[in-house]
Homo-oligomer: A and B are copies of this chain.
């Protein structure tokens, strides 16, 4: 896959998302000399299983299922810390959950649309949004270090289909 359009809310072949993400992760970590260990890659894969942000304990449960040994919280949180540091995932603070980043190679803020109905999240990459925030900060004399925009509502699918599956 080449240029990526937002597609969390669009019907698509999701296996491409997963393979792209894993490939990119391997490439990035190799280049940076960061170690994408088995656990870290496993957590990244679990996060990428869908476009719905997943909580740490949901990941923990899924890891535990696949493992013979018990899995403790630090195992998951350390993997998440690594993936966050490498910017391979984003944290959605409002729901204490984590989602894969489709553009890990390209530095950017954490801007999301989050569907209240189906739970899916889509990254926003709007120059207009970014620039207006940058401009507001400049005018306020504020030196931005990081930012997160979490927009909740109904995705195109869920707003038209009156019914719900949640």
Which residues from chain A sit less than 8 Å from chain B, CB to CB? Answer: 6, 9, 93-94, 113, 115-116, 122, 124, 126, 128-129, 131-133, 135-137, 140-156, 159
Distance between Cα atoms of A122 and B113 in the complex (Å): 23
CB contacts (< 8 Å) of A152 on chain B: these are: 144-147
The answer, among B113, B124, B133, B156, for a CB contact under 8 Å with A129, is: B133
Instruction: List the number of copies, as a whole number.
Output: 2
In the complex the two chains form, is A137's CB within 8 Å of B151's CB?
yes
Residue of B nearest to A157 (CB): B141
The answer, among B141, B151, B154, for a CB contact under 8 Å with A133, is: B151
CB contacts (< 8 Å) of A113 on chain B: these are: 137, 140, 142
Min Cβ gap A87→B in Å is 16
Min Cβ gap A51→B in Å is 14
In the complex the two chains form, is A142's CB within 8 Å of B129's CB?
no
Given contacts A93-B94, A142-B113, A145-B116, contact A136 B153 (CB under 8 A): no
Min Cβ gap A55→B in Å is 14
Min Cβ gap A137→B in Å is 6
CB contacts (< 8 Å) of A148 on chain B: these are: 94, 148-150
Residue of B nearest to A158 (CB): B143
Distance between Cα atoms of A148 and B150 in the complex (Å): 5
